[in-house]
Amino acid sequence: MTTNYVETNCTITHNGRTFESGGMYIVPCSDGFYRGAVYVQPYVAGWEGHLARVTTWHGDLVAVLDTLTNYRGNFCKMRRISFTLKGVKFVGDYCPDWSELCRVRSTRKVA
Protein backbone atom coordinates (compact mmCIF):
# COMPACT_ATOMS: atom_id res chain seq x y z
CA MET A 1 0.00 0.00 0.00
CA THR A 2 1.67 3.19 -1.11
CA THR A 3 -1.22 5.63 -0.92
CA ASN A 4 -1.75 7.84 2.10
CA TYR A 5 -5.32 8.84 2.81
CA VAL A 6 -5.63 12.28 4.34
CA GLU A 7 -8.98 14.00 4.17
CA THR A 8 -9.11 17.79 4.12
CA ASN A 9 -11.77 20.51 4.29
CA CYS A 10 -13.77 19.00 7.14
CA THR A 11 -15.67 22.03 8.39
CA ILE A 12 -19.31 22.79 9.05
CA THR A 13 -21.00 26.03 10.02
CA HIS A 14 -23.91 26.03 12.43
CA ASN A 15 -25.61 29.16 13.79
CA GLY A 16 -22.74 31.32 12.60
CA ARG A 17 -20.04 29.20 14.28
CA THR A 18 -17.58 27.10 12.31
CA PHE A 19 -16.47 23.68 13.54
CA GLU A 20 -13.58 21.69 12.09
CA SER A 21 -12.68 18.01 12.27
CA GLY A 22 -9.35 16.43 11.51
CA GLY A 23 -11.11 14.16 9.02
CA MET A 24 -10.29 10.60 8.08
CA TYR A 25 -6.67 9.59 7.59
CA ILE A 26 -4.49 6.50 7.15
CA VAL A 27 -0.75 7.11 7.06
CA PRO A 28 2.47 5.08 7.54
CA CYS A 29 4.17 5.18 10.94
CA SER A 30 7.88 4.86 11.71
CA ASP A 31 7.42 1.23 12.87
CA GLY A 32 6.19 0.08 9.43
CA PHE A 33 2.49 -0.19 10.31
CA TYR A 34 -0.22 2.06 8.93
CA ARG A 35 -2.41 3.85 11.46
CA GLY A 36 -5.30 6.20 11.19
CA ALA A 37 -8.81 7.27 12.04
CA VAL A 38 -11.88 6.32 10.03
CA TYR A 39 -15.62 6.62 10.50
CA VAL A 40 -17.96 3.63 10.77
CA GLN A 41 -21.50 3.92 9.46
CA PRO A 42 -23.77 1.22 10.93
CA TYR A 43 -25.72 -1.07 8.63
CA VAL A 44 -28.88 0.29 7.06
CA ALA A 45 -31.44 -1.48 4.88
CA GLY A 46 -30.20 -1.92 1.33
CA TRP A 47 -26.60 -2.78 2.17
CA GLU A 48 -27.22 -6.48 1.66
CA GLY A 49 -24.17 -8.52 2.58
CA HIS A 50 -22.41 -5.65 4.40
CA LEU A 51 -22.10 -5.35 8.18
CA ALA A 52 -21.30 -1.64 8.01
CA ARG A 53 -19.25 0.80 5.99
CA VAL A 54 -15.94 2.53 6.60
CA THR A 55 -16.21 6.12 5.40
CA THR A 56 -14.52 9.48 5.35
CA TRP A 57 -15.75 12.34 7.54
CA HIS A 58 -17.86 13.45 4.56
CA GLY A 59 -19.46 9.98 4.30
CA ASP A 60 -17.64 8.79 1.17
CA LEU A 61 -17.17 5.01 1.05
CA VAL A 62 -13.65 3.76 1.82
CA ALA A 63 -14.33 0.04 2.46
CA VAL A 64 -16.93 -2.37 3.79
CA LEU A 65 -16.36 -4.26 7.04
CA ASP A 66 -15.06 -7.82 6.97
CA THR A 67 -15.98 -8.41 10.63
CA LEU A 68 -17.85 -6.60 13.39
CA THR A 69 -17.68 -7.95 16.95
CA ASN A 70 -19.36 -6.52 20.04
CA TYR A 71 -17.77 -6.77 23.50
CA ARG A 72 -18.12 -5.11 26.88
CA GLY A 73 -15.53 -2.42 27.61
CA ASN A 74 -14.84 -0.67 30.92
CA PHE A 75 -17.32 2.14 30.27
CA CYS A 76 -19.55 1.07 27.38
CA LYS A 77 -20.23 -1.58 24.80
CA MET A 78 -17.38 -1.65 22.32
CA ARG A 79 -17.09 -2.79 18.74
CA ARG A 80 -14.04 -4.32 17.09
CA ILE A 81 -13.92 -3.97 13.33
CA SER A 82 -11.75 -5.26 10.53
CA PHE A 83 -11.65 -4.23 6.90
CA THR A 84 -9.34 -4.56 3.92
CA LEU A 85 -8.09 -1.56 1.96
CA LYS A 86 -5.86 -2.03 -1.10
CA GLY A 87 -4.96 -5.54 0.05
CA VAL A 88 -4.00 -4.48 3.58
CA LYS A 89 -6.09 -5.61 6.56
CA PHE A 90 -6.91 -3.09 9.28
CA VAL A 91 -8.41 -3.56 12.76
CA GLY A 92 -9.77 -1.07 15.26
CA ASP A 93 -12.03 -0.57 18.27
CA TYR A 94 -14.61 2.12 18.97
CA CYS A 95 -17.59 2.88 21.20
CA PRO A 96 -20.73 3.49 19.11
CA ASP A 97 -22.41 5.21 22.07
CA TRP A 98 -19.86 8.02 21.93
CA SER A 99 -18.78 8.38 18.32
CA GLU A 100 -18.51 6.76 14.90
CA LEU A 101 -14.80 7.62 14.86
CA CYS A 102 -12.55 4.55 15.02
CA ARG A 103 -8.77 4.44 15.39
CA VAL A 104 -7.29 1.68 13.21
CA ARG A 105 -3.98 -0.07 12.57
CA SER A 106 -2.76 -2.39 9.84
CA THR A 107 -2.31 -6.00 10.98
CA ARG A 108 1.10 -6.27 9.37
CA LYS A 109 4.00 -4.00 8.46
CA VAL A 110 3.59 -2.55 5.01
CA ALA A 111 5.84 0.51 4.93
- Whether 111 maps to a domain, the answer reads no
Cα dist from 108 to 1, 9, 27, 41, 62, whole Å: 11, 30, 14, 25, 19
How do residues 31-48 score in pLDDT, each as one tens digit?
A: 999 999 999 987 766 666
Strands 34-42 vs 25-28: parallel, antiparallel or unpaired: antiparallel
Domain that holds residue 52: 5-106
- What is the number of other CB atoms lying within 10 angstroms of the CB of residue 7? 19
The total number of structural domains in the chain stands at: 1
How do residues 65-96 score in pLDDT, each as one tens digit?
A: 888 888 998 888 999 999 999 999 999 999 98
How do residues 11-35 score in pLDDT, each as one tens digit?
A: 888 899 988 777 889 999 999 999 9
- Whether 31 maps to a domain, the answer reads yes
Q: How many residues does the chain have?
A: 111
Q: Which residues contact 16 (CB under 8 A, 6 or more apart)?
A: none
pLDDT at 97: 86
Say what the pTM is.
0.81
